[in-house]
Amino acid sequence: MTNSEILTAYVEAINHHSVDTMVKWLAKDHVFTDSLGQAIWGSSGMKPAWSKYFEMVPDYEIIIDEIFEKAGKMVLLGTAKGTYAPDGKLRPNNRWQTRAAWKVVFKNERISEWQIFADNEPIRQIIREHESAGAA
């Protein structure tokens, strides 16, 4: 498969919250790096991480607008969005979205690196508001 085909399958798996399919496309030595620079090493750690994230944001979705590719690497530009739902309920006031970029590195028909660059302040603000309301 081409890198573009792998990427398409992976993004579809993210948007369908198909964690098993997502992990299938990851190299064993995969590294995921979030927008704060925190990393998860190894594909085995990604299944519980993504599962937990999809519980917190059950309608999480990424939309890719542009792709730049060079020498087995891609840069994706687009939007990440969803609804923070700590109790599983999708409330309109907990909906957020942010522009995002992703760096993707491929190795042996697998994704060896996935790094997101995004301003996560929109979801952080919702979480803070939710936590302060719960503390009151």
Domain that holds residue 51: 3-135
Q: Residue 20: which CATH number?
A: 3.10.450.50
Q: Beta strands 73-83 and 39-41: pairing type?
A: unpaired
Structurally, the chain folds into a number of domains equal to 1
Q: Render each residue's pLDDT in the chain as its tens digit; 136 residues.
A: 999 999 999 999 999 999 999 999 999 999 999 999 999 999 999 999 999 999 999 999 999 999 999 998 999 999 999 999 999 899 999 999 999 999 999 999 999 999 999 988 888 889 888 888 764 4
